[in-house]
Amino acid sequence: MALFDYMTQDGEFHEKKFPCGKAPDTITLDDGRTACLTFGKPYIAETEGWPLTCVASGVHPEQRQELSDYLTKKGVPTEVTKDGDPVYKSASHRRKALKARGMHDRNSFY
């Protein structure tokens, strides 16, 4: 099984597992919305390398509570270390947290 990224019209990402070569181009979500396959290539399950403490998207230690509160308010609750570094639980969690802050990772294909 591999994970595939699907995106709705409003830019919301969803991950679904399918056997390689069996992922449909579109899926219907539980709420009736349609999401389209974004990349067409599967990636390895999110269990490898997660959770990830990200120094690059960190803040000054004095701002860690502010960052945690901001991400929670945006719907992406995120643990922030005492050094001000966010701890991402999965690739989708990381993507959502970065998007909530107006950031993106140029090396992660989204």
φ, ψ at 93 (rounded to 5°): -65, -45
**Per-residue pLDDT tens over the stretch 76-104:** 999 999 999 999 988 889 989 999 999 98
pLDDT at 67: 96
| 22-75 per-position pLDDT tens digit | 889 899 999 999 998 886 554 555 556 788 899 999 999 999 999 999 999 999
Cα atoms in the 13 Å half-sphere on the side-chain side of 97: 26
CA distance 83 to 86: 9
What's the confidence (pLDDT) of residue 109?
Answer: 54
